Amino acid sequence: MYTVCNINTEFYYSQTQFFMLFINMFKKVKRNISLALGSGSAKGLAHIGVIEYLLEKGYNITAIAGSSIGSVIASYFVFNKLDFYKNFVLSLDKKKVFSLFDINFLPTKGLIDGDKICEFFMESLGKVKIEESPIPLYIVATDLETGKPVIFTKGQLTKAVRASISIPGIFSTVNINGQILVDGGVSNPLPISVLSENKHKNIIAVNLNSKIKPNGFNKSPNIISTFYRAFSIMNYYQSECIINNATYHKVIEPNLDNVGMFDYHLAKDIMQEGYNAAKRTLEE
């Protein structure tokens, strides 16, 4: 009896060890995903928190598409400079935020020229080309003449990103190859389709265009807040339509209702909510 019991015990432990080994191996296997990063101005800093969560949990990002601020985060990520960008935005206060913008006091094409921000991109990202990305990278802008999305997969990265963030009326337009380009969020605020049309699988999207709530709305808005709210309403309905008709794995939706267009000084809280939203969505 003693011998039989000992054999059974050894057999039990060998099964347990094998099972635990299998579980540990499974945990170490990276899960391949494609990532769609939506538009949303300062809310887009939440993309950083989402990416940090994904990497922490062993997800392997094999392709990435970005619209507007999503294109900024995507670019810094693929060229391994996301930590630099994160530290930069964490250093910003309100005064430093507006020092990045060259304001036009007699605007003809936009309230902000965008030269300063383009110089920052050039200094920090360099003269890299999109096709040099180690994984497929898609930058979304909008052709102002045709109204259709323009998807950049090659060419100078910084110029494509500058076009992608060109909020109409706020930033001046960008001319690339004869096309007058504005913000990617105008035509495609959540670029799930860009990934699916290029045969990428297991798409996780980050939607920053949450339902518009009346709470906290300023009854006497200035020109910037009026435009931003109108643009946000448009993007919300566009994003809802995209989500209802697209094929994807998960949609992460950070709660950032109180974050304004230029609230980059709230970087720490915005990034944390991105991380928390990813955790809520992917662990449910």
The pLDDT value recorded for residue 88 is 96
Cα atoms in the Cβ-side hemisphere of radius 13 Å centred on 172: 18
The pLDDT value recorded for residue 223 is 79
The pLDDT value recorded for residue 211 is 78
The pLDDT value recorded for residue 117 is 87
Q: Does domain 30-283 have CATH number 3.40.1090.10?
A: yes
User: Each residue of 250-276: b (16+ CB within 10 Å) or e?
Assistant: ebbbbebeebbbbbbbbbebbbbbbbb
The answer to whether residue 196 is catalytic is no
The pLDDT value recorded for residue 105 is 61
Whether residue 77 contacts residue 69, with contact meaning beta carbons closer than 8 Å, is answered with no
The model's pTM is 0.86
Separation between Cα atoms, residue 202 and residue 137, nearest integer Å: 16
Cα 18 to the chain's mean position, in Å?
40
Q: Is residue 68 classed as helix, strand or coil in its secondary structure?
A: coil
Given the residues 68, 75, 232, 239, select the one marked as catalytic: 68
The pLDDT value recorded for residue 216 is 59
Q: What is the dihedral of CA 235, 257, 66, 191, to 10 degrees?
A: -40
The pLDDT value recorded for residue 179 is 97
Separation between Cα atoms, residue 212 and residue 230, nearest integer Å: 10
The pLDDT value recorded for residue 28 is 47
The answer to whether residue 68 is catalytic is yes
pLDDT in tens, the chain (284 residues): 444 445 454 544 455 555 555 445 444 456 999 999 999 999 999 999 999 999 999 999 999 999 999 999 999 999 999 999 999 999 999 888 888 876 766 666 677 777 888 899 999 999 999 999 999 999 999 999 999 999 999 999 999 999 999 999 888 999 999 999 999 999 999 999 999 999 999 999 999 998 777 665 666 778 777 888 888 899 999 999 999 999 899 999 999 988 988 999 999 999 999 999 999 999 97
The pLDDT value recorded for residue 227 is 80
Q: Is 5 left (phi over 0), alpha (psi -120 to 50) or beta?
A: alpha
Q: Which amino acid is at 6?
A: N
Given the residues 34, 75, 183, 263, select the one marked as catalytic: 183
Separation between Cα atoms, residue 16 and residue 27, nearest integer Å: 17
Can you give the residue ranges of every domain in the chain? 30-283
The pLDDT value recorded for residue 13 is 44
